[in-house]
Amino acid sequence: MAISYENLKEELKNRNIRLSHQRLKILEFIANNRIHPTVDNIYNALHKEIPTLSKTTVYNTLKTLVDADLVKIVNIEENEARYDIDTDSHGHFKCESCGDVFDFDIDIDSFISDELVGFKINHRDVYFKGICNNCQV
């Protein structure tokens, strides 16, 4: 389901993030294209519509959105950061054939063993890699 431009605008205002057309369009792209995009995906998708957009602006905007907990970084690969509008706990599966990343529900808290009691956990991420149903055909 598409998230409206106005709802995203309100969300940025509520988090005291300065509104700009570029920030709103980047957030709108991530919200309405649940492909876990990379910086390149975002830049290439928006550059025709916003010719003044630079990759630096995309990187800076993503950092702002991550810091505000509006977007989550998905680091399935060492050399590739992807971005997810769903900041709730869930797992990710990356297809090693097509490269698509899929969300799946999982109780991440069930992975925390008694050996970690007392530890401060900053990130809880579960990643799987393999071949998706579409690529197995």
- Quick one: pLDDT at residue 2? 65
pLDDT tens column, 13-70: 999 999 899 999 999 999 999 999 999 999 999 999 999 999 999 999 999 999 999 9
Q: What is the pTM of this model?
A: 0.86
17 & 78 share domain: yes
97 & 78 share domain: no
- Please give the DSSP secondary-structure letter assigned to residue 71: S
Domain ranges, residue 62: 5-84
65 & 119 share domain: no
What does the alpha-carbon distance between residue 74 and residue 126 come to, in Å, rounded to a whole number?
Answer: 10
- In angstroms, how far is CA 125 from the centroid of its own chain? 13
- Quick one: pLDDT at residue 1? 53
pLDDT tens column, 74-109: 999 989 999 999 999 899 999 999 999 999 999 887
- CA dihedral over 36, 79, 18, 42, signed as positive or negative: negative
80 & 106 share domain: no
